[in-house]
């Protein structure tokens, strides 16, 4: 039994003594943490003597982070020699757009479906139903610019240009690039000027 324990200890210590790995990132100069301890910046050669406590375990928790980029976490066999390459993903507008659609697609689809449904009722002249649905929609989504444009459309249908103008201004506050709201505001201003 003692011989087996001695052989196991010898093999483990031998593997730890020879094990090492290299971490490379694109872009470089990313921080590397092993088991929540900062060990350096990439590119980095990691050896057991840098963190003997971590290498005493069979798996190392490695975290790669760089400001402006998505962090990456991996588990690495502490007894293996290897090179790890990471392509870090920058936090860009496109990144967040994809994440929003990926993580919130159900909510985005529900919101879009609600807007289209209300537009359908308006287009088919079912104004009371459209107003009821819009009221419910705006309770759930109070900061959606297109909902205020739809409300302005209903206000105009109800011969209330003053309220329509206020709702269009609210829409443009929420989304200054809303071309429909901008066109309707210009139309209302011209109509006010001709009266």
2-87 carries CATH number 2.30.29:
no
Per the CB < 8 A criterion, the answer to whether 185 and 156 are in contact is no
Q: What are phi and psi of 141, to 5 degrees?
A: -125, 80
Average model confidence (pLDDT) across the chain = 84
- Residues 139-173 pLDDT 10s: 988 999 999 999 999 999 999 999 999 999 999 99
CATH 2.60.40 intervals, the chain: 2-87
Lowest-confidence range among 9-23, 61-75, 177-191?
Answer: 9-23
Q: Which fold has domain 93-193?
A: 1.25.40
- At residue 195, the pLDDT reads 55
- At residue 78, the pLDDT reads 81
Output the CA angle 43-46-50, nearest 5 degrees: 130
CATH 1.25.40.10 intervals, the chain: 93-193
Rounded to whole angstroms, how far apart are CA atoms 31 and 127?
59
Q: Once rounded to an integer, what is the mean pLDDT over residues 118-123?
A: 92
3-state secondary structure of 118: helix
Q: What are phi and psi of 34, to 5 degrees?
A: -120, 120
Per the CB < 8 A criterion, the answer to whether 101 and 46 are in contact is no
């Amino acid at each position: 039994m003692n011989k087996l324990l001695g052989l196991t200890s010898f093999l483990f210590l031998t593997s730890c003594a020879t094990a090492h790995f290299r971490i490379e990132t694109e872009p470089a100069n990313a921080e590397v943490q092993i088991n929540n301890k900062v060990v350096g910046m990439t590119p980095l050669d990691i050896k057991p003597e840098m963190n003997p406590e971590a290498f005493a375990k069979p798996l190392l928790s490695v975290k790669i982070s760089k400001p402006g980029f998505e962090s990456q976490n991996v588990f690495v066999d502490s007894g293996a020699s290897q090179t790890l390459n990471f392509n870090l993903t920058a936090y860009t507008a496109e990144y967040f757009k994809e994440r929003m659609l990926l993580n919130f697609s159900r909510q985005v689809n529900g919101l879009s479906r609600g807007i289209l449904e209300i537009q359908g009722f308006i287009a088919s002249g079912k104004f009371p139903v459209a107003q009821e649905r819009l009221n419910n929609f705006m309770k759930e989504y109070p900061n959606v610019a297109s909902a205020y444009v739809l409300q302005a459309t209903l206000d105009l249908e109800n011969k209330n240009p003053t309220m329509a103008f206020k709702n269009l201004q609210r829409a443009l506050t929420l989304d200054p690039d809303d071309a429909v709201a901008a066109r309707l505001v210009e139309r209302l201003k011209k109509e006010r000027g001709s009266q």
